[in-house]
């Protein structure tokens, strides 16, 4: 990026001399006019002023322009080039998301799964410098997308997350262990898992606290998010007449989720609606910031020579006019 700056801007106060010189010139022109008295102006009515009459002010105008250019040169114009070297140190994040049948409960809009997808995508879009992966779990778990900086592909996969892709159930330990597997070989200084669930661990071969111990051993922080309103919520229930919604008690093992987060140096959050879920992601976003270093380099080049050369050329033109075309004309 290049910009023009002036090393001595106070020199521009000298421009106040220009209107003074113009006023003095006008006064001198009026005072130096010669008068001629004749008995009649007949015969002079169609006489038009010659070219030299209009040109008699040209030397003064040129001199004023030269003075302005000289003053500008005295202000020392400089071209400043600014170069910035930006280095980023991203964070590796794995989103581990519950996709069990209860995630279709409609205490969120449109439901828990839809809200988690929408707000999760916003979170991904706001962290362009981080590698982010996606793990889904229900009765079992698998990696939907490994760690990547290709956030467009990740977001497309996020859009395609639906209930039914895994056997139903809530295997929190498996979801956490799979996420740890994706991060354990990472060389990033900060490694984070965001585990989102709406229930109680009831499936899986790995105990949640065992998976948390493994995460701790690798220095991985786990932020846990419990999704569900307080009290009851409309859950989907299969009946002979199709899927119907019945109000059922919301059960989230908050003690377990709190233990997982504390054990790994993270934090537990409870989201009861779309707004609070978005606030949770906002808090996590502030807690886990990417390191960005900006080194700025400035180089300056003096530009006054061009103004001086232009002023000199104008003064030469003025001198030439006075000694040739306008010689003897005041």
255, pLDDT greater than 90: yes
Say if residue 307 is in the same domain as residue 285: no
pLDDT value for 252: 94
Say if residue 67 is in the same domain as residue 101: no
Q: How confident is the model at residue 279 (pLDDT cuts 50, 70, 90)?
A: very high
| Bond from prior residue into 201 cis (ω within 30 degrees of 0) | no
pLDDT value for 34: 53
Say if residue 141 is in the same domain as residue 205: yes
Percent of the chain clearing pLDDT 90 (strictly above): 54
Percent of the chain clearing pLDDT 70 (strictly above): 87
pLDDT value for 264: 95
In a domain, 35, yes or no: no
pLDDT value for 172: 96
2, pLDDT greater than 90: no
In a domain, 216, yes or no: yes
In a domain, 34, yes or no: no
User: Among positive and negative, which fits the CA dihedral 230, 283, 175, 214?
Assistant: negative
pLDDT value for 287: 81
Nearest CA to 311 among 113, 147, 74, 129?
74
Give the pLDDT confidence of 200-235 residue by residue, as tens digits: 999 988 999 999 999 999 999 999 999 999 999 998
173, pLDDT greater than 90: yes
Give the pLDDT confidence of 6-35 residue by residue, as tens digits: 888 899 999 999 999 888 888 887 766 555
Least confident of 92-106, 177-191, 236-250: 236-250
Q: How confident is the model at residue 263 (pLDDT cuts 50, 70, 90)?
A: very high
What integer is the mean pLDDT of 119-141?
93
What integer is the mean pLDDT of 285-311?
78
Say if residue 193 is in the same domain as residue 76: no
Say if residue 129 is in the same domain as residue 217: yes
105, pLDDT greater than 70: yes
pLDDT value for 302: 86
Q: How confident is the model at residue 135 (pLDDT cuts 50, 70, 90)?
A: very high
Say if residue 17 is in the same domain as residue 69: yes
Rounded CA-CA distance 289/292 in Å is 9
Rounded CA-CA distance 270/240 in Å is 35
CA distances from 141 to 105, 137, 138, 171, 219 (A): 21, 4, 6, 7, 22
Say if residue 123 is in the same domain as residue 152: yes
Of residues 289 and 44, more confidence is placed in 289
3-state secondary structure the chain: CEEEEECCHHHHHHHHHHHHHHHHHHHHHHHCCCCCCCCCCCCCCCCCCCHHHHHCCHHHHHHHHHHHHHHHHHCCEEEEEEEEEEEEECCEEEEEEECCHHHHCCCCCCCHHHHHHHHHHHHHHCCCCCEEEEEEECCCEEEEEEEECCHHHHHHHHHCCCCCCCCCCCCHHHHHHHHHHHHCCCCCCCEEEEEEECCCCCCCCCCHHHHHHHHHHCCCEEEEEEECCCCEEEEEEEECCEEEEEEEECCCCHHHHHHHHHHHCCCEEEECCHHHHHHHHHHHHHHCCCEEEEEEEEEEEECHHHHHHHHHHHHHHHHHHHHCCCCCCC
Task: Confirm if 211 and 190 have CB atoms less than 8 A apart.
Answer: no
Q: How confident is the model at residue 277 (pLDDT cuts 50, 70, 90)?
A: very high
Domain count, the chain: 2
Give the pLDDT confidence of 178-197 residue by residue, as tens digits: 999 999 998 888 899 999 99
pLDDT value for 81: 77
Say if residue 185 is in the same domain as residue 62: no
Q: What is the CATH number of the domain that holds 245?
A: 3.40.50.410
**Domain residue limits at 255:** 91-289
253, pLDDT greater than 90: yes
Task: Confirm if 250 and 228 have CB atoms less than 8 A apart.
Answer: yes
In a domain, 133, yes or no: yes
Give the pLDDT confidence of 36-95 residue by residue, as tens digits: 556 555 555 565 655 666 677 788 889 899 999 999 999 989 887 777 666 667 789 999
Say if residue 68 is in the same domain as residue 211: no
Task: Confirm if 101 and 38 have CB atoms less than 8 A apart.
Answer: no
pLDDT value for 56: 76
pLDDT value for 33: 58
In a domain, 295, yes or no: no
Average pLDDT of the chain to the nearest whole number:
86
């Amino acid at each position: 990026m290049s910009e023009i700056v002036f090393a001595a801007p106070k020199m521009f106060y000298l421009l106040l001399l220009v209107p003074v010189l113009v006023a003095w010139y006008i006064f001198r022109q009026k005072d130096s006019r010669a008068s001629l008295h004749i008995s009649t102006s007949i015969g002079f009515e169609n006489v038009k002023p010659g070219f030299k009459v209009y040109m008699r002010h040209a030397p003064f105008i040129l001199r004023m322009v030269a003075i302005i250019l000289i003053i500008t040169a005295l202000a020392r114009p400089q071209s400043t080039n600014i170069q910035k070297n930006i280095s980023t140190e991203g964070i590796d994040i794995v989103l581990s998301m519950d996709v069990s049948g209860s995630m279709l409960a409609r205490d969120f809009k449109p439901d828990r799964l839809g809200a988690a997808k929408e707000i999760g995508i916003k979170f991904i879009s706001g962290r362009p410098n981080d590698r982010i992966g996606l793990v889904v779990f229900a009765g079992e778990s698998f990696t939907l997308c490994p760690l990547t900086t290709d956030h467009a592909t990740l977001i497309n996969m996020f859009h395609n997350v639906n209930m039914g892709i895994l056997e139903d159930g809530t295997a929190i330990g498996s979801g956490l262990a799979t996420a740890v597997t994706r991060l354990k070989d990472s060389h990033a200084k900060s490694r984070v898992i965001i585990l989102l669930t709406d229930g109680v661990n009831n499936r899986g071969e790995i105990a949640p606290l065992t998976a948390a111990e493994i995460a701790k051993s690798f220095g991985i922080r786990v932020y846990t998010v419990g999704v569900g309103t307080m009290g009851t919520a409309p859950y989907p229930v299969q009946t002979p007449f199709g899927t119907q919604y019945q109000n059922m008690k919301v059960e989230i093992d908050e003690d377990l989720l709190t233990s997982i987060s504390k054990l790994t140096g993270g934090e537990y959050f409870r989201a009861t609606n779309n707004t609070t879920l978005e606030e949770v992601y906002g808090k996590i976003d502030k807690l886990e910031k990417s390191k960005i270093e900006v080194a700025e380099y400035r180089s300056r080049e003096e530009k006054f020579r061009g103004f001086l050369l232009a002023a000199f050329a104008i003064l030469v033109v003025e001198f030439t006019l006075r000694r040739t075309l306008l010689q003897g004309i005041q």
